[in-house]
Amino acid sequence: MNTQSICALNSQAVFNQQVANHDFMVVLFTASWCDPCQVFAPVFTEVAAQTPSVLFATADVDVATDLAANFQVTQVPALMVIRERVVIDMMHGAMLAHELQHHLHMWQALDMAAINAHFAQRVSAS
């Protein structure tokens, strides 16, 4: 089993660096005082270990306050998914391992060329 470590994001700057270096990231916004976050953390770690092609990261909203504010995270746990520098999903609440794996498969199946083309059209139209 892969024992990939989970990256800790403690600021917007660290987040920006990781996004620049990874095409696929799943970020868990969490807090030490959040009971559902503590229940979900081992599930997140387990799925991360099974998915070495994706960077899994955590951001404590009480530490990475700039990052949480930038993405308007008002509820934890929250998952933010980034592919090729585009936020493709934001979900709230804990889930079971099979649910997270199901979402990972959906996120991996997205046609990023079509998504990037869509945003390119919107930018050129404005």
Residues serving a catalytic function are 34, 37
Cα–Cα distance measured from residue 98 to residue 93, given in angstroms and rounded to the nearest whole number: 15
